[in-house]
Structures are given as structure tokens and as C-alpha cells.
Chain A
């Protein structure tokens, strides 16, 4: 993957939802550092998802890389919602949102796994820390995840070669946008930020996800974790 212009988190996080979520994870000082830090580092997620080189290769190899990447994002979300349900910390509208959206994300995971067949990468381990332990942290993180998923699918869709894969990706993309508007309204934010939703590149999404530290296997120097 070629070096790109550095992207500031602030550029892609218009109303600070992601920064807030990160702040809860790592403390406000770290969040402040992230806000101004250039996101130009290693695309850890891309590497783990299969093949950064394949992202630029075109054709079927590129499709597999894109779907693998989408699978990772869906697994991230699916496990997040499943975990918060198990923790039984949500009530009312938030609980309903998490139940329905969680089922959708798990459906997306299964559909992508079927489409990828044997080429599907293994599921990494996730550690959401406090993000699934209370309604406020859940809400902030869910807003960030859903907006990120919308931008990620939007960035990858025009690069998909197979019409069948493309139709599937588009049919998921708009559902992620429904999820985003839903959780934003529950969080007291504007469901729609403006007339156009901007895409993020795979590199940008991978860098943002890596910085959340939710994905354990993506970390090159992470602490070893007991996984049972």
C-alpha cells in the first residue's frame, strides 16, 4: 500500500464521536493526542485482514481482500453487541437497538463468511474494555462504529469487481447507515450530519480501528491475553 497524505482523526470524526469513545477507553489525554495525531502509520488491520497488496491488485483477489476487511469490521460490531447484551447493562430503547442491530451484524458476518468460503480469515480476539459495561460508553462506541462502517463500505464499494459482491456490499452499506442514524438519535445527536456522507479509505479505517485497541491480534506489541 502506498504512502498517503496523513489524515487527521479530526478530519474524519466531524462531531467527535469517535474521539469521545476513544477518550473513554484510554483517558482524555490519549484521546487528545489521537485527535491531533496524523493517521499515517502501519495498516495493521489491513495486514491482518489478508493482503494489503491485494487491495491494489484489482479483480477477484482485491474482492477477497475487501470482503475479508468487511468481515473483520462486522465481527468487531457483532461481538460488541453480543457482549453488551450478555452484560445486561442496557434498558429500553438502547436495549432494543442493541438486540436488533446485533442480530443484523451477526447476519452480515455469516453472509460474508459464506461468500468468502475457505478464504475467510479467522476471527480475531476482541477486548472492548469498558465500552460494553455501561449505557453511556456503549452509546458513544456504537455511534463511532456505525458511522465508521458506513464510511468503510462507501470507500470500498466502487473498488469491488464482482457484481454479486457489490450488490451485497451495497445492501449492507445502507443498513449500517440506518443503524448509525438510529443510535445517533438515541444518543441525542443529529441522525444525519449533512446531505452527503463521505467515504474513508481502507487504510484510514484500518488505522482508526487499530487505534481503538479493541482488536487484540492486530496489535504488534499488545499484552498477551488469556483467551481460554
Chain B
């Protein structure tokens, strides 16, 4: 499937400008369509799918380990606890799903140091919101780089991550959907945000 062809009569740049202008005008400038975040230009291939899935697996393993640790250490109760338990199950299911897709190429989970992010309920809520927002942003950013079959599989996960993000935001009293569009991130940007939270992946 060819994804690089500009629609007839419009250059890609012009299209992006128009789309970005519309979204910006519509949402008060806060939201710009993800096209403005310029997903990587590499053409989808099976080899590239594996690279992206490997990166997604690290993020799913990280989330699964984060919720397991938080359930043990963060002193969660009520809906926060229900959230951590439910979402932790989902992240484990996602990791298993991606491992199966990668087959022999799947790596075991890295070691994670969650620092202070699981020290108490408040730190947990802040970190969970950031991790869910980053997880879905990376999947959104990489979506256009996937082959259609792998994109279809990834899309089943990304909206669940978005539901998680919305849920924890609502629990915390933040706006569940802060913008009209969720702008994509590169894997590199996503991992940098995780590190900025004080989480170490080794």
C-alpha cells in the first residue's frame, strides 16, 4: 500500500498547512493535527514493523511493571486501585499480544527503576497519566509507518491506551480529553519523556 502519494491537486505540504490551520482555528490554536508532527517518512515494511513493535513492547512491559509495582507500593485504594488493577491486566495482555506477533524476535522485559513514581498515590496518579499519554502518542506517531495489517493490530491497543489516559485523568480531576487531536510522538521523544519522569530503563 502506497502511503506517500499526495492527494491529487494538493502538495503534501499544502495539505498539512491547510489541515493544521483548520485544526488550529477550530481548537484555539492548542491543537494541531498530528500531520504537523510529521511522522517519520520511512516506507512501511515488515522489518520496520518489527522495530516499531519492539519499541512498543518496551513501553507495554514498562506500563505492566509500573502498575504491578504501584499496586504493591503506592498505597492505592478505591477507584485508583481498581484502575491500576484493571489497566495492569490490559498492559500485560498487550505485551503478550506483541510478544506473540514478534515471535522469536521478542526481547524479554528490560529492568525498570520507577524512582519516586510509585512512592504514593499522588505520585502514581501523575505518573500513570503521563505514561498513558506517552504510550498512545508513540503508537499514534508510529501508526503511519506500519504496514496496514500491523496497523490494524496496533489500533486495537491504541484506543485502549487512550481510554486508560482518559480514565486516570478523570479520576485525578484533569480534563480527560485535553485537545481535539492527540499529536503523535517518535519513539525517541516518547522514551525521553519517560526518562524525564525519573524512570530508568536498563
Chain A residues with a Cβ under 8 A of chain B:
58-60, 63-64, 100-101, 103-104, 106-108, 110-111, 113-115, 117, 150, 154, 157-168, 170-182, 185, 190-192, 194-199
Note all chain A residues with C-beta closer than 8 A to B149: 158
Partner of A192, one of B33, B37, B160: B160
Interface string of B32-60 (1 = CB under 8 A from A): 01110101000000000000000000000
Q: Which of B130-149 contact A (CB under 8 A)?
A: 136, 140, 143-144, 148-149
Instruction: Work out how many contacts link A and B, with CB atoms closer than 8 A.
Output: 202
Pair B7/A154 contact, Cβ less than 8 Å: no
Pair A182/B180 contact, Cβ less than 8 Å: no
- Measured CB to CB, the closest approach of chain B to A65, in angstroms, equals 13
Tell whether A166 pairs with B177 under 8 Å between CB atoms, given A107-B26, A174-B158, A174-B159.
Answer: no
Assess whether B179 is interfacial by the CB under 8 Å rule: yes
Pair B183/A171 contact, Cβ less than 8 Å: yes
Pair B177/A182 contact, Cβ less than 8 Å: yes
State in angstroms the CA–CA spacing of A177 and B35 once bound together. Answer: 19
Pair A111/B33 contact, Cβ less than 8 Å: yes
Pair A175/B177 contact, Cβ less than 8 Å: yes
Pair B22/A110 contact, Cβ less than 8 Å: yes
- Measured CB to CB, the closest approach of chain B to A123, in angstroms, equals 16
Pair B167/A168 contact, Cβ less than 8 Å: no
State in angstroms the CA–CA spacing of A164 and B97 once bound together. Answer: 28
Q: List 26 A-B contacts (CB under 8 A).
A: A111-B181, A114-B18, A114-B22, A115-B19, A117-B10, A157-B155, A161-B1, A164-B6, A164-B35, A167-B34, A171-B182, A172-B180, A172-B181, A174-B136, A174-B158, A174-B159, A178-B182, A179-B166, A182-B166, A185-B167, A191-B167, A192-B87, A192-B167, A194-B160, A195-B93, A195-B97
Note all chain A residues with C-beta closer than 8 A to B12: 164
Tell whether A162 pairs with B3 under 8 Å between CB atoms, given A167-B35, A185-B170.
Answer: yes
Q: Would you call the interface of chain B mostly helix, strand, loop, or mixed?
A: helix
- List the 8 shortest-distance A-B pairs measured between CB atoms, nearest first: A171-B34, A107-B26, A177-B162, A195-B93, A177-B159, A114-B22, A181-B163, A178-B177
Q: In the complex, what residue of chain B is closest to A171 when comparing beta carbons?
A: B34
- Measured CB to CB, the closest approach of chain A to B136, in angstroms, equals 5
- Measured CB to CB, the closest approach of chain A to B51, in angstroms, equals 17
State in angstroms the CA–CA spacing of A172 and B181 once bound together. Answer: 5
Partner of A175, one of B19, B37, B180: B180
Pair B159/A163 contact, Cβ less than 8 Å: no
Pair B151/A168 contact, Cβ less than 8 Å: no
State in angstroms the CA–CA spacing of A159 and B91 once bound together. Answer: 26
Pair A192/B5 contact, Cβ less than 8 Å: no
Q: In the complex, what residue of chain A is closest to B20 when comparing beta carbons?
A: A111
